[in-house]
Structure 1
Amino acid sequence: MPLLWINGPFGGGKTQTAYELRRRLPGSVVCDPEHVGFGLHRTLPPALRGDFQDLPAWRRGVYEVLDLALREHTDGPVIVPMTLVEPAYFEEVVGRLRAAHGADRVHHVALLARRETVLKRLTERGLGRGLKRESFAVSKLDGCLERLNGPEFAHHIRTDPLTVPQVADEVARIAGLRLAPNTDGPLRHRLRRVRVGLAHIRFD
């Protein structure tokens, strides 16, 4: 079964797309590398908590966990929503996975959108506090969009005009997968997005 790495800026729709794919790909599983980073942060004194991607332990750990998932999870695709824009780190994780399992099994897409589109999405998920709650994501936005436009981060998907199900359709097409039909109406789609968003709110 393949691995689908869904890259993009913070607020770019990675998590929503990942769970839409999981809903429509029987047997698939979402493996979120952020949880590895959160665990590492919690073992460090607050003064030492920088960007967890800078920790070699995070990069090694993510590779090892996803390598295990690819080898042992045979029921469906492994879906990985994670912003990763440092080329050396990308090669250390995604490149190693491709070397170990083949580029035909390890797929990568970058979800891109105009700056104003991403800011609107961040505002919508700000729990009534607008962009104040999303200051980290905003501070990283321009750098993420610039780097992810590079050829090493292809395939690129422009998400401005697309709904979440349409983005999932395009990810599946790139990976050569067939999704179950999307039967959600507008209201159910909206409720599903709210539920996924609420389930992934961070309080730490």
Structure 2
Amino acid sequence: MILWINGAFGSGKTTCAKILEKQLPNAFLYDPEQAGFFIRNQLPESLQQSDFQHHPEWREFNYQMLLKIATSFDGVILVPMTLVDATYVDEIIGRLQREGVDVRHIILEANRRTLVKRLNKRFEWFSSWGKSQIDRCQSAFESDIHAEKIVTDYQSKQNVARAVAQHVGLTLSSKCFRFIHFFHGFVFPLDNKLACMGEIQLHRLTCRIGQPHAAEQQLAVTI
């Protein structure tokens, strides 16, 4: 199965895909952007398009790569990538489906305020590329691009990933692990959130290591 996670910039596509990759037993994260970077870097400036998706080579390469992986890999292929041109969607997703490949197409949806806030957290201030594409993306998802939509506003990352998995019939693992590092006997009070495939409130954890000169120790937190 190919799971194509679409959405505007800042909707949480890559974050969702990474959570799914870690919580599915056999998943592979495929990044179509890498082909775009290669094309852009290997063309004279006069031949470069403003958006590498406009290069037919980008669409053909990703179609061929995904077809190869889908017919050779027994697992879930995760593809977090914004596609807002209906023709391009058909050239990649539609063409794969016509070849008999099981492609599930999901759109992560968020309002403008949420998208801007998330992009600011990624240090995309002022008129960044992502912000300049919000209206274009939202308009396309309302009219031209048809797929199941999952609203991500006010949802935790884990809940979004769970909703995506449930929609396509996948089961996520119930546990994950993170490590908190302690050094040289210092006391570390934590009053913030510990992100572990979701948002879990960690209420004031204090740990004192008795040997000041001991090597680094780890506390494993299991959820």
1:96 is displaced (CA, Å) by 0.6
Code of the residue aligned with 2:107 in structure 1: it is A
Is 1:31–1:79's contact at 8 Å kept on the other side of the alignment?
yes
User: Match for residue 72 of structure 2?
Assistant: 72
Shift of 1:25: 0.5
Unaligned runs of 5+ residues in structure 1 are 193-204
1:161–1:184 Cα change, 3 Å? farther
Q: Extract structure 1 runs of 4+ deviating beyond 6 A.
A: none
1:166 to 154, 159, 170: 159
Q: Give the RMSD, CA atoms, in angstroms.
A: 2.0
Give the equivalent residue in structure 1 for 2:168.
Answer: 175
| Of 114, 121, 125, the match for 1:131 | 125
Q: Identical aligned pairs, as a percentage?
A: 37
Please identify, of 23-32 and 150-159, the stretch whose mean Cα deviation from structure 2 is larger: 150-159
Distance 1:157 1:151 in 2: 17
Task: Give the Å deviation of 1:156.
Answer: 0.5
Matched, 1:147 2:166: no
- Cα distance between partner residues in 2 of 1:181 and 1:71: 29
- Worse overlay, 145-154 or 180-189: 180-189
Who is 1:120 aligned against? 117
Amino acid at match of 1:131: W
Q: 1:81 maps to which residue?
A: 80
Following superposition, the deviation at residue 48 of structure 1 comes to: 2.9
Higher strand share: 2
Q: Which has the higher helix share?
A: 1
Residue 115 of structure 1: how far off its partner (Å): 0.2
Q: Which entry has the higher C-alpha Rg, 1 or 2?
A: 2
* Residues 191 and 162 of structure 1, relative CA distance in 2, 3 Å threshold: closer
Work out whether residues 22 and 29 of structure 1, in 8 Å CA contact, stay in contact via their aligned partners in 2.
yes
Distance across 2 between alignment mates of 1:32 and 1:44: 20
Once the two structures are TM-superposed, the CA of residue 10 in structure 1 deviates from its matched residue by 1.1
CA distance in 2, matches of 1:131, 1:190: 27
- Count of aligned residue pairs for this structure pair: 184
Structure 2: stretches of 5+ with no match in the other structure:
179-192, 200-223
Q: Which residue of 1 aligns with 2:25?
A: 26
Please give the alpha-carbon distance, in whole angstroms, between the structure 2 residues aligned to 1:191 and 1:111: 17
Distance 1:9 1:140 in 2: 7
Structure-to-structure mapping, 1:98-117, within 5 angstroms: 98-102=97-101, 105-117=102-114
State the TM-score, normalizing by the size of structure 2.
Answer: 0.77
Report SS of the residue matched to 1:118.
helix
- 2:210 matched to which residue of 1? none
Q: How many Å apart are 1:150 and its aligned residue?
A: 3.1
Alignment check: 8 A CA contact 1:7 1:14 kept: yes
Residues 1:7 and 1:49: Cα distance change in structure 2 (over 3 Å): same
1:32 is paired with a residue of what secondary structure?
Answer: coil
Partner residue, 1:202: none
Aligned-residue offset at 1:49: 2.4
Higher RCO by CA contacts (8 Å cutoff, separation 6 or greater): 1
